[in-house]
A and B are shown apart, each in its own frame.
Chain A
């Protein structure tokens, strides 16, 4: 398919979009901000017969709290996330992750739905969504299902989405006042770089250095995001002393499953996963103590 032959349909409402998805006989693909889609089209990897342009579906661009959940529309941009006071207060780790996506231009155009849709093991918002217990709302013309983010990905670039479905919402659990999170990323340079390793951490603090458990999710060190459950189980074993933090970091070294690719070797990734977690935990504790 030549780029010049690819068509485009821009639905004016979600229902028009879902109707099109269910009826189209053409090879179609959604395009939101296009920061992944246009690049892959140019590289010759993604050449649908028709782009379904959802960028301007305003009804899917929102951040709101209702019924004990924070609801985020898939067309919410990374810049929207950075500017949201609600998310700064109740989903700090997601705000930190959005800040690490590309640079200003990518944050302005790129959407959270697109970050999830690309399903890259290096997608920065995904580990943050893991530790916030995200549910993905998937809709087709006649169905709607809510799927825990852990079950959404089936491999690099692959999700459970069917041809006639799309992401219509992301639900996260708001953090309580004693919950704090952090996102740490190592890339080849500071701005505009794909993660070599990243980690999202969310801790439930009690008092002093004591914590009541938490969640840890690594990106870019496995075929999908890795919830470090062994590390997590150590979090509540006692006060988070230097010794305990170093032990947790050692466990992380074994728990990640990285490969060697053009960006880094597997061994380097293990070392860095361990170091990022250790540094992240120290930083979180310092923030908690200085809050």
Chain B
């Protein structure tokens, strides 16, 4: 066992766990943050994606001991009802989710991608950014649309108020 410090969605936690336990299991079991999902458990599908120091990573293959002292953002940290983020609002508006298993991971990946750009991304850019996230239900069209919608919401928010 090892005691690790994690800053998750802004709150600092001290957790005692085996250091080789996955960060995903720590989030779900020790902290009760169950938005991040385990699907493949080996880095291939992205359903467990979280931000570690602002960069998207698959939490199923990050060991708890390696996350010690790092800053983690999960889908809960992107936004919770009723304070949803633009990307979450856009997913609802575009109907970009079906079973929902992949959705929290995609929201986190999309959030990291949108944080790094200030234009409305082309389809190919979105495909590259979300290449590590698989969805078995939607066929991606609506997911891509939702990311574009969120980008235009973000940019209209940033535009100076006229008049």
A105 x B49 contact (CB < 8 A)? yes
- Determine the chain B residues whose CB is within 8 A of the CB of A53 once the complex forms: 63, 65-66
Residue of B nearest to A54 (CB): B66
Instruction: Tell me if A102 is interfacial: C-beta within 8 Å of chain B.
Output: yes
Instruction: Tell me if A11 is interfacial: C-beta within 8 Å of chain B.
Output: no
User: Which chain B residues have a beta carbon within 8 Å of chain A's beta carbons?
Assistant: 2, 18-22, 41-44, 46, 49, 52, 55-58, 61-63, 65-66, 68-69, 109, 112-113, 127-133
A34 x B18 contact (CB < 8 A)? no
A104 x B131 contact (CB < 8 A)? yes
A39 x B42 contact (CB < 8 A)? yes
Q: How far is the CA of A67 from the CA of B49 in the complex (A)?
A: 41
- Determine the chain B residues whose CB is within 8 A of the CB of A105 once the complex forms: 43, 46, 49, 56-58, 109, 132
- Determine the chain A residues whose CB is within 8 A of the CB of B18 once the complex forms: 3-6
Scan A19-36; emit 1 where CB is below 8 A from any B CB, else 0: 000000000000100110
Distance from B90 Cβ to chain A, minimum over Cβ atoms (Å): 19
User: Which chain A residues have a beta carbon within 8 Å of chain B's beta carbons?
Assistant: 3-8, 10, 31, 34-35, 38-39, 41-43, 51, 53, 55-56, 79, 102-106, 108-109, 190-192
B65 x A38 contact (CB < 8 A)? no
B131 x A34 contact (CB < 8 A)? no
B63 x A34 contact (CB < 8 A)? yes
A103 x B61 contact (CB < 8 A)? no
Count the A-B residue pairs with Cβ separation under 8 angstroms: how many? 96
- Determine the chain A residues whose CB is within 8 A of the CB of B2 once the complex forms: 7-8
Residue of A nearest to B2 (CB): A8
Q: How far is the CA of A108 from the CA of B43 in the complex (A)?
A: 12
- Determine the chain A residues whose CB is within 8 A of the CB of B57 once the complex forms: 105, 108-109
B44 x A192 contact (CB < 8 A)? yes
Q: Tell me whether A31 and B66 are in contact in the complex, defined as CB-CB below 8 angstroms, given that A4-B18, A192-B131 are known contacts.
A: yes
Q: Tell me whether A102 and B42 are in contact in the complex, defined as CB-CB below 8 angstroms, given that A31-B63, A51-B19, A108-B57 are known contacts.
A: no
Q: Tell me whether A104 and B129 are in contact in the complex, defined as CB-CB below 8 angstroms, given that A31-B66, A39-B42, A79-B55 are known contacts.
A: yes
Q: Tell me whether A38 and B128 are in contact in the complex, defined as CB-CB below 8 angstroms, given that A4-B18, A51-B20 are known contacts.
A: no
- Determine the chain A residues whose CB is within 8 A of the CB of B43 once the complex forms: 35, 38-39, 102, 105-106
Q: How far is the CA of A71 from the CA of B158 in the complex (A)?
A: 40
Q: How far is the CA of A4 from the CA of B26 in the complex (A)?
A: 13
